[in-house]
Amino acid sequence: MKFLVIDETNRILDTELELDIRKLASLCLSLQEERVPWIFFATFSNQLQQLAKHVLCEDHIFFYESANVDVAHTIEEVPFTKKQDLNVV
């Protein structure tokens, strides 16, 4: 196994699968091949920091915290009677 990619890691930890993730990461670490673990998350809780220290090399932890300036977020209030016409749930 060359790559170990864990996406939405913070959400996975919410489902109490941390032990399974640690076992998988340990298995990858025990392989003689060079491995490239990647984890992706929206928040960096203490629990996630501990997992990152276990899975990643210290000099391979990067943070990217800026929002995409090209994305505009808006809130539109849609009357209940119009939702079906607009395919809004």
- From the list 25, 17, 30, the residue with the least C-alpha distance to 56 is 25
pTM, two decimals, is 0.42
Output the tens digit of pLDDT for each of the chain's 89 residues: 566 677 777 777 777 777 887 787 777 666 655 666 666 666 677 777 777 777 776 666 666 666 677 878 777 777 878 777 776 55
d(CA 52, CA 38): 9
